[in-house]
Structure formats: structure tokens, C-alpha cells
């Protein structure tokens, strides 16, 4: 190991189990197995990047092969074996990167090499990093040797993606899941290193480093490195400096943006977002932080300052708690859905910044928070067509528009041919049906076996207004081109009255299906807060709640 390295992650790499942080149980378990001479044939270390998988693998190798024995394993002054293992050039400890040597031939060479005993140490050890990258044939070639290796041979595997490793391999290893390092432990650790490096970084900046690193020691040390290099004239590196260096959004900006978003103040929302963008924050980073704050707004009552991974300070916590009391949870869930959708859309948009601005504007108009603002719908490569009503029942000021030329032509034909088609008398196969609301219309479509119309009404139609013999709707791109024609026909047949169906430029209510999906999400979210769910997850960590049935009340919706 190069002690003069300027890279902190290498300079302060642990040499013995006592140097590790956050992995006490794993360290104790492996130490006991070595002391009792019950060493497994193969170790398998899994966890996120930078939590110590390869480091622990080398510590195990040194503990097994140190010339001074396990009880006096080298910590500072290395013996020849420990020195060689630290520098990855020991003849009996072979480190292999499975990302570059994935084939069955590489594993066969490894197995052939394993037939010869160790040269200068007690054990021959194979450390295979990113083992999940091995091919299926390579894993199969390894099976027999892995299950019954010679007494002198030990395997140590490390991976970030445990699910990609065959179960037959996992079952032959002693598996250790390395957890993320807790925030307080990581904070104290990097603070100690900061003092050793004679750096001047305040606690708020260190807490931000801990938050961004997400429990990874290597990431935290890399960010600390950047912070130290960013210092000039030994001035204190504070939180504002950290935001600029790491391209991170200050929470106060986002909270203020949410405040204006809930008020429907479009001008201030765009102003704040542009100031954030001008600081160098990428749109994807902004949206991820936006989602994080949405989570806090929705669940702030269940959180406390100690458990938020240094994400919020006292002032921000109180601001979010106060604002969350003024917002309905269903609005936050809608915001969450739209945010995820826009994240996917960013990959196909050339100017991502403009896409995020339009996303924020859509959120305001979606909830109708700014009732005085003029609503506009912009559709790329489509004309917005205004249709004048010829029917005497419509006022002269009403406008109906569509974004597809085919549908517009269809509507025109309906108005032009309405008098001719509706002169025909309806088929009176029973009593005249009275329809007073949108839900009744869907139910009647179901009763009359009009499945196609029912499908369109539930999934592709957003109701704006429902009055006597008049329906005003908006729709999505999936609406069938003959929908209005078919619906007008059956309504006349059922009610013996003409119905006027118009398309509005207003957004309208959520579709029938969207409401059901929203209700399902809410039920699942509520169910996850129950003691029953917590008990099940504790007993079955891989279980996932996908459906909740409400037995208290069942409606036709």
C-alpha cells in the first residue's frame, strides 16, 4: 500500500479488522472462525460500492498468511507476506478481476494453478472481484473445486450484484452481506481523517458529504479529497462551498420552490428553478432531489431528525412539516408519478432544462392551483384546431379543440350530419334510460355490453363537465377515432334525446383508471405502515406488497 498516496481512499485503507468501521459483526464472525480453525472453503462478500468488500478480502488473506500469526497480525510494520498481499503481488494470493476475465478458460487456468500447494505461506488464496461477471460456463467449471478444495486453498469472492450469481455457487460459500455504513459512524470517521490531513471543513459540509456518499466509505473519502483540494488559503470549507463543488441543491431553495408550487405561483417557481440550474445542477439531479423532498413532505410525520441521514436540519424539518399540513397526500402522490414519468422522458429530450420547466408548469396546472392563469396545451407536430359550434344549445363563446386532424374531421362530420342521423328514431327495446352522471354512463355501457365504449371512457377520457344531454371531455392520444360518433349514437338510442359531446382545452378530471390506480397506491402505502406488514417483511425480507383489497366497502367504481 502506498502510504504517500494523495488519494485518501488508499492512504487510509484498513489493514486489520480493528480498523474497519460499520462491519463489527462480520469482523467478529470471521475472526472467531480463524481463531477456532473453522475456516470456510469460500467467503462471499456482497454490498454496495465502497463498503469494504475487497478490503476485507485482503485482511482475511493477511490474517491467514501473516508470518506473526493471527493474534499478532501486522498492522503498521508489515512482514513480507502482508507487504506483498497489500501490494497485490503475493505469489500465493492471486487477485483476479472477473470483469476482465470472464471466460471458462480463465477459470480452468485458475483450477490448474490450484493443484500446486502454497510456496511461502500457509494458504493459497484466490480473491475474485466482481465475481457476478463470470460466464455461466465459468461458474460451472468452478463448482467441484469450490465444494471440495484442498486444505490449503481458500476462495474469497466479492460482488455488488448478488442476484446474478448462481444459487449453486452461493450455497457453497459462507455469505456475508456488508451493510451501508451508518451516518453517525461515517461522519466521525471522515472528521477524524480531516483532522489528520489538517483540513478546515465545518460539520455541515461533512454531513453533506456523508449524505451524498450514501453509506459508502470510498465515496465519502473521495468527496473529502475534493473538499480539501478546493480549499484556498486554509479558509473554512463550508456548506455553501460544498453545494458548489458537488453540484448539490441547497434544501432551502427546493422548499421555497415547493411553497410557490403549492400556491400556484408559476413565475416564482420558474425563477427559483432557473437559479438552481444556473448553479450547475443537472436536470436529472434536480428531479432526484425533487423526489426526495416529495418523500419528506409525504412522510414527515413518521420521521425524526436522527433518522434522516443528515438530509434535513432543524429549520428545514420545521418548514416541511408546516407546509405538509396544507397539502393533500393525493396531490403529493400525483407529483411523484409525474416526476418519475419526466425522468424517463429526459432521455429522449434534447434540451432537458426546458423539459423540467414545462414539468413544473404542468404540476401547477394539473392541480388547478393557479386558477387565474391561462391554460394552454402544446402538442408537438400537431395543429390546435378550434371548432365553432353550430348547435343552438351551445353558447357562442365556447370553443372545442382537438390535437389530431382525423378526430377534428370526425367531429365536423358529426355536426354536419347530426340532423340527418338523429332524425332516425331510436330502437325502443325497453324504457328510456335516464343518465345523470359520468359513472352511470360507464355502468350502463357495461350493462349494455358496450365493452369498447366502457374501455375508452375508463382509460382514455378525462371528464371536464357533465350536464343534461351534454358532456365535455378531454382525452389522451389513445382515444379511438370513432369514439364520439359511437357514443353519440348509443346515447341517442338509450335516452331518445340528442347528446352534445364536446372536446375541451381544459385538463379535466383524472380518468377512471387513474383514480383506481391512485387509490390502489394509497391503500398499499397505508398497508405498509401497519404492524402486520412490518412483521411479514421482518420474517420474509424479499416479500413485496402488490395488492390490497378493501373489504369494508365495495363500490361499482
User: Domain check: are 163 and 292 in the same one?
Assistant: no
Measured between alpha carbons, how far is 261 from 226 in angstroms, rounded to an integer? 35
The three three-digit cell numbers of residue 151, written as one number: 486444505
Q: How many CB atoms lie within 10 A of CB 291?
A: 14
The answer on 225 and 192 residing in a single domain is yes
> Domain tally for the chain?
4
CATH number of the domain where residue 113 is located: 3.40.50.300
Give the per-residue pLDDT at 345.
83
Decide if 460 is inside a domain: yes
- What letter does residue 237 receive in the DSSP assignment? B
Q: 216 in a domain, yes or no?
A: yes
Average pLDDT over residues 332-353: 85
Distances (CA, A) of 544 to 123, 170, 268, 517: 43, 23, 40, 17
For residue 461, tell me if it sits in a domain: yes
Considering the domain architecture, whether residues 172 and 301 belong to the same structural domain is answered as: no
Residue 552 domain-assigned (yes or no): no
pLDDT interval class at 427 (50, 70, 90): very low
**3-state SS, residue 452:** helix
Reduced to 3 states (helix: H, G, I; strand: E, B; else coil), residue 201 is strand
Is residue 239 very low, low, confident or very high in pLDDT (cuts 50, 70, 90)? confident
Mean pLDDT across 514-539: 80
Q: Does residue 317 lie in a domain region?
A: yes
Residues 226 and 257 placed together within one structural domain of the fold: no
For 391-420, the pLDDT digits (tens) are 434 333 343 333 334 443 444 444 444 443
**Domain annotation covers residue 380:** no
Instruction: Please name which of 207, 209, 140, 204 lies closest in space to residue 169, comparing C-alpha atoms.
Output: 140
Please count the other Cβ atoms lying within 10 Å of the Cβ belonging to residue 326. Answer: 9
Digit-coded pLDDT (tens) for 279-310: 778 888 888 888 888 888 888 877 765 544 55
**37 and 170: one domain?**
yes
Q: Is residue 549 part of a domain?
A: no
Same-domain status, 208 and 133 = no
Task: Look up the CATH number of the domain holding residue 299.
Answer: 1.20.272.10
The more confident residue out of 494 and 302 is 494
pLDDT digits (tens, 9 = 90+) for 265-278: 888 989 989 888 88
Q: Are 198 and 310 contained in the same domain?
A: no
Domain identity same for 240 and 265: no
Residues 334 and 482 in one domain: no
pLDDT in tens, 61-114: 999 989 888 888 888 788 888 888 888 888 899 988 888 887 888 888 888 888
Lowest-confidence pick of 32-36, 126-130, 160-164, 502-506: 502-506
Q: Is 44 helix (H, G, I), strand (E, B) or coil?
A: strand
* Mean pLDDT of the 474-479 span: 80
How far apart, in whole angstroms, are the C-alpha atoms of residue 361 and residue 375? 10
Mean pLDDT in residue range 470-490: 82
Final residue belonging to a domain, choices 177, 206, 226: 177
Question: What is the CATH number for 212?
Answer: 1.10.8.60
52-56, 231-235, 307-311, 323-327, range with greatest mean pLDDT = 52-56
End of a domain among 310, 331, 366? Answer: 366
pLDDT at 516 over 60: yes
Q: Does residue 516 belong to any structural domain of this protein?
A: no
Cα–Cα dist 321/52, whole Å: 37
Range of the domain at 299: 251-366
Cα distance between residue 447 and residue 359, in whole Å: 40
Of 408-412, 431-435, 458-462, the least confident = 408-412
> 253, 312, 257: which is closest to 279 by C-alpha?
253
Predicted pLDDT of residue 42 = 93
Structure confidence at residue 229 (pLDDT): 86
173 and 26 in a single domain? The answer is yes
Neighbours of 7 (CB within 10 A): 13
Q: Is residue 154 within 8 Å of residue 42, measured between CB atoms?
A: yes
38, 159: one domain: yes
Q: Which of 303, 332, 366 is the last residue of a domain?
A: 366
Are 175 and 46 in contact, with CB atoms under 8 Å apart? yes
Q: What per-residue confidence (pLDDT) applies to 404?
A: 38
- Exposed, middle or buried: residue 533 (CB in 10 Å: 0-12, 13-18, 19+)? middle
Query: What is the Cα 439 distance to its own chain's centre?
Result: 35
* C-alpha distances in Å from residue 325, one per residue of 260, 317, 319, 504, 529: 15, 13, 10, 33, 19
**How confident is the model over 374-388, as pLDDT tens digits?**
344 333 333 333 333
Q: Are residues 60 and 172 in the same domain?
A: yes
Amino acid at each position: 500500500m502506498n502510504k504517500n498516496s494523495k488519494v485518501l481512499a488508499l492512504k487510509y485503507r484498513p489493514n486489520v479488522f480493528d480498523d474497519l468501521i460499520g462491519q463489527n459483526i462480520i469482523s467478529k464472525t470471521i475472526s472467531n472462525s480463524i481463531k477456532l480453525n473453522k475456516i470456510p472453503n469460500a467467503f462471499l462478500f456482497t454490498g454496495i460500492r465502497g463498503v469494504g468488500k475487497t478490503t476485507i478480502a485482503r485482511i482475511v488473506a493477511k490474517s491467514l498468511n501473516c508470518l506473526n500469526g493471527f493474534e499478532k497480525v501486522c498492522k503498521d510494520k508489515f512482514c513480507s507476506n502482508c507487504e506483498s498481499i497489500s501490494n497485490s503481488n503475493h505469489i500465493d494470493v492471486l487477485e483476479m478481476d472477473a470483469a476482465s476475465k470472464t471466460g471458462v478458460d480463465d477459470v480452468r487456468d485458475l483450477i490448474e494453478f490450484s493443484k500446486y500447494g502454497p510456496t511461502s505461506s500457509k494458504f493459497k488464496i484466490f480473491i475474485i472481484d466482481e465475481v457476478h461477471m463470470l460466464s455461466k460456463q465459468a461458474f460451472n467449471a468452478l463448482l467441484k473445486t469450490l465444494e471440495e478444495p484442498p486444505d490449503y486453498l481458500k476462495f474469497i469472492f466479492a460482488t455488488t450484484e448478488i442476484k446474478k450469481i448462481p444459487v449453486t455457487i452461493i450455497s457453497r460459500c459462507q455469505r456475508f452481506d456488508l451493510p451501508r455504513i451508518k451516518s453517525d459512524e461515517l461522519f466521525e470517521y471522515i472528521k477524524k481523517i480531516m483532522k489528520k490531513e489538517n483540513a478546515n471543513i465545518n460539520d455541515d459540509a461533512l454531513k453533506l458529504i456523508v449524505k451524498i456518499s450514501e453509506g459508502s466509505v470510498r465515496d465519502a473519502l473521495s468527496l473529502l479529497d475534493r473538499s480539501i483540494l478546493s480549499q484556498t488559503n486554509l479558509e473554512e470549507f463550508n456548506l455553501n462551498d460544498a453545494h458548489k463543488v458537488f453540484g448539490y441543491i441547497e434544501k432551502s431553495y427546493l422548499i421555497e420552490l415547493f411553497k410557490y408550487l403549492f400556491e400556484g405561483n408559476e413565475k416564482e417557481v420558474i425563477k427559483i428553478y432557473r437559479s438552481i440550474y444556473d448553479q450547475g445542477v443537472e436536470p436529472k439531479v434536480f428531479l432526484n432531489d425533487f423526489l426526495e423532498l416529495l418523500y419528506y413532505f409525504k412522510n414527515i410525520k413518521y420521521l425524526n431528525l436522527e433518522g434522516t441521514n443528515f438530509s434535513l436540519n432543524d429549520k428545514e424539518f420545521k418548514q416541511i412539516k408546516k407546509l405538509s399540513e396544507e397539502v393533500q397526500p393525493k396531490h403529493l402522490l400525483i407529483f411523484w408519478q409525474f416526476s418519475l414519468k419526466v425522468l424517463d422522458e429526459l432521455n429522449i429530450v434534447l434540451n432537458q432544462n426546458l423539459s423540467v420547466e414545462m414539468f413544473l408548469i404542468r404540476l401547477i396546472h394539473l392541480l388547478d392551483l393557479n386558477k387565474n392563469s391561462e391554460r394552454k396545451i402544446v402538442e408537438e407536430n400537431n395543429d390546435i384546431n378550434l371548432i365553432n359550434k353550430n348547435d343552438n344549445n351551445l353558447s357562442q363563446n365556447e370553443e372545442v379543440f382537438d390535437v389530431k386532424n382525423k378526430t377534428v374531421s370526425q367531429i365536423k362530420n358529426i355536426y354536419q350530419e347530426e340532423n340527418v342521423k338523429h332524425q332516425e328514431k331510436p330502437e325502443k327495446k325497453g324504457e328510456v334510460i335516464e343518465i345523470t352522471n359520468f359513472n352511470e354512463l360507464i355502468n350502463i355501457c357495461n350493462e349494455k355490453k358496450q365493452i369498447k365504449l366502457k374501455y375508452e371512457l375508463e382509460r382514455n377520457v378525462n371528464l371536464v363537465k357533465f350536464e343534461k344531454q351534454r358532456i365535455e371531455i378531454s382525452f389522451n392520444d389513445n382515444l379511438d377515432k370513432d369514439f364520439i360518433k359511437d357514443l353519440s349514437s348509443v346515447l341517442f338510442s338509450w335516452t331518445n334525446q340528442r347528446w352534445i359531446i364536446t372536446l375541451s382545452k381544459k385538463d379535466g378530471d383524472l380518468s377512471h383508471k387513474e383514480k383506481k390506480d391512485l387509490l390502489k397506491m394509497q391503500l398499499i402505502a397505508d398497508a405498509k405502515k401497519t404492524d402486520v406488514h412490518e412483521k411479514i417483511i421482518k420474517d420474509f425480507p424479499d416479500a413485496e406488497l402488490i395488492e390490497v383489497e378493501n373489504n369494508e366497502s365495495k363500490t361499482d367504481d
